[in-house]
Chains A and B, each alone.
Chain A
Amino acid sequence: MHDIVNTAANFIHLDTITIVYLFLVGFVGGLVSGFIGSGGAFVLTPAMMSLGVPGLVAVASNMCHKFPKALIGSIKRAKYGQVDVKLGIVLGISAEAGVLYGAQIQENIKKSFGEAGSNLYVSVAFVVILAIVGGFVLLDAWKTYKSGNANNEEEKVTKLARWVQSVNIPGTMVYFKSLNARISVLFTIPLGFATGMLAATIAVGGFIGVPAMIYVMGAPSLMASATELVIAFVMGLGGSFKFAMHGLVDIRLAMIILAGSLFGIQLGAIGTTYVKPYMIKIVMGTIMVIVLFSRGLMVPVYLSQLGLIQEISEGSVKILKNVSFGIMIFALALGAFIVLKAMWQGRKAQQLAAQEVYEPGKI
């Protein structure tokens, strides 16, 4: 990587519009991350690249804004009693290993199949994983909503999670407060590893981490999304250092995005105290399913670049790229809108309840 050590020359010029743009995208990304524990990265990296930032610098700078953001978010949500630090650290460390392995796979694919091959791998991983996991999360949220249990604060632990919690492998059992049970680290390690691998591949490990904590381990949605911030911190810190060792972090980009995202993450974290747990699943599932279409659109482009299908004209490629980016922004904006709306309604309901209590003359 020594040829890219002097990337300083590649660090882009910043003007006011760029700064405002990064601040705003950072804010919306932060808002969503504060709420569901991750997200934002899938928009931020391409957003930076659209400004002319080289791919690796964009990934590195994104990561360098992610860990301080996750730190502040997890501290905030810990105040609300939603964070399981132990689970976060255990998963975070195995996720770190997953990141390194995932990055290695990426590098090998790039070497063997070139840039288009690597992009195809990322997009297919995106589409397949998001379709399965995102579809499942959304379906589950929808079922909760339809069943009339939406107002229930208690969430059902899945059969799978009950089985995982029941398996006793001596010498590997650890108690986690979010699960209120002991589970074997032989389950947490592969799940953390998968989270890290996904983070290295599509930049958002939380799309595996949060559903894994909910459905496989049996953590409540609020705790899973809050604990994901601890994982993101551990993973982001290690990743940032690795990238910084190669001089790839553009600290200006990272800190400007951080400026916006810290406003967002505080608000998103506050938002979780106003909503029913199934809202976490709604926001996460919705974003995942929309993003999958965004990446799916790009699959034919990479297939044609690899010569696997008929060549697509440059004009069409440009259109597909722009539509794909537009859908991603839409996914994030919609997620932010649902968070703000749910929060607004929650606040209103609380104010009404308070008024009823204090209204003089009323019993």
Chain B
Amino acid sequence: MSSKNVRKKPYGIAILTGVISISLYVLLLLKQDVLNDYFGRGGLYAFLPIITAFIFSIVHGSFTGNFWTLLGIEAAKKKKEVK
């Protein structure tokens, strides 16, 4: 490979966030009834889905970002420096 990345691939963080993400999803599916009960109550319980969405997005968002990096799919390098 001629155009090797100088940066190290983020294996550690990808595995860590991947494991947490999967655990969150397993929990979500295993505890469906309890979650539906609380999350569907409305009123101040509205904070529950919002907070949950933030947690999932941070963990899973970090995982998916690193996932593509590990596959070698990254943003294009800036082409035009001189104009």
- Which of A's residues lie within 8 Å of B, judged by CB? 5-8, 11, 14, 19, 64-65, 67-69, 71-72, 75-76, 79-80, 153, 237, 240-241, 244-252, 254-256, 258-259, 262-263, 265-267, 270, 273-274, 346-347, 350-351, 353-355, 358
Pick from A5, A76, A249 the residue with the most CB of B within 10 Å: A249
- In the complex the two chains form, is B42's CB within 8 Å of A247's CB? yes
A5 interface neighbour in B32, B41, B65, B77, Cβ under 8 Å: B41
A251 partner, pick from B35, B65, B80, beta carbons under 8 A: B35
Tell me whether B57 and A258 are in contact (CB under 8 A).
yes
Interface pair B46/A251, CB less than 8 Å apart: no
Q: Are A258 and B40 in contact (CB under 8 A)?
A: no
| Interface-central residue, B29, B37, B65, B80, by most chain A CB under 10 Å | B65
Q: B76 near A: Cβ within 8 Å?
A: yes
Whether A244 pairs with B68 at a CB distance below 8 angstroms is no
Bitwise, B45-61 to A at CB < 8 A (1) or not (0) is 11111101110110011
B54 to chain A, nearest CB (A): 6
**B40–A6 CB distance below 8 A:** yes
Indicate if the CB atoms of A263 and B64 lie closer than 8 Å: yes
| Chain A residue at minimal CB-CB distance from B40 | A8
Inter-chain contacts of A67 with B (CB < 8 A): 53
Q: State the CA gap A64–B47 with chains docked (Å).
A: 12
Contact A254 B53 (CB under 8 A): yes
Which of B3, B36, B68 is within 8 Å of A351, CB to CB?
A: B3
17 further A-B pairs in the complex, CB-CB below 8 A; given A71-B61, A262-B57? A5-B41, A8-B39, A14-B29, A19-B29, A64-B50, A65-B53, A72-B65, A241-B46, A244-B47, A247-B42, A249-B39, A252-B29, A252-B32, A254-B49, A254-B53, A262-B63, A358-B3
Across the interface, do A245 and B42 meet the contact criterion of CB distance under 8 Å? yes
A5, A250, A258: the one contacting B56 at CB < 8 Å is A258
Given contacts A7-B40, A11-B36, A247-B42, contact A262 B64 (CB under 8 A): yes
Contact status B49-A64, CB under 8 Å: yes
Instruction: From B3, B32, B37, B61, give the contact of A354 (CB < 8 A).
Output: B3
Closest Cβ–Cβ distance, residue A185 to chain B (whole Å): 28
Given A270-B68, A355-B2, A358-B2: A255 touches B42 (CB 8 Å cut-off): no
For A8, give the chain B residue with the smallest CB separation.
B40
A6 to B35, CA, bound (A): 13
How many residue pairs bridge A and B at CB < 8 Å? 132
Interface size bracket, B side:
35 or more
Separation of A241 and B43 alpha carbons in the complex (Å): 10
Interface contact A250-B3, CB-CB below 8 Å: no
Q: Is the interface of B mostly helix, strand, loop or mixed?
A: helix
- Complex CA gap A347/B71 in Å reads 14
Contact A249 B49 (CB under 8 A): yes
- Complex contact A346–B49 (CB within 8 A): no
A330 CA to B55 CA in the complex, in Å?
A: 32
Contact of B41 among A72, A247, A265, A351 (CB under 8 A): A247
| B56, A68: Cβ atoms closer than 8 Å | yes
A250–B76 CB distance below 8 A: no
Most buried by B among A244, A259, A347: A244
Q: Is the CB of B41 within 8 A of A255?
A: no
What is the distance, in angstroms, from B71's C-beta to the closest C-beta of chain A? 10
Report how far A69 CA is from B64 CA in the complex, Å. Answer: 12
The closest CB in chain B to the CB of A65 belongs to B53
Contacts of B6 in A (CB 8 A): none
Interfacial residues of chain B within 10-58, with CB under 8 A of chain A in the complex? 25, 28-29, 32, 35-37, 39-43, 45-50, 52-54, 56-57
| A8/B56 in contact, CB under 8 A | no
Q: Are B32 and A72 in contact (CB under 8 A)?
A: no
Residue of A nearest to B21 (CB): A259
> What separation, in Å, do the CA atoms of A241 and B40 have in the docked complex?
12
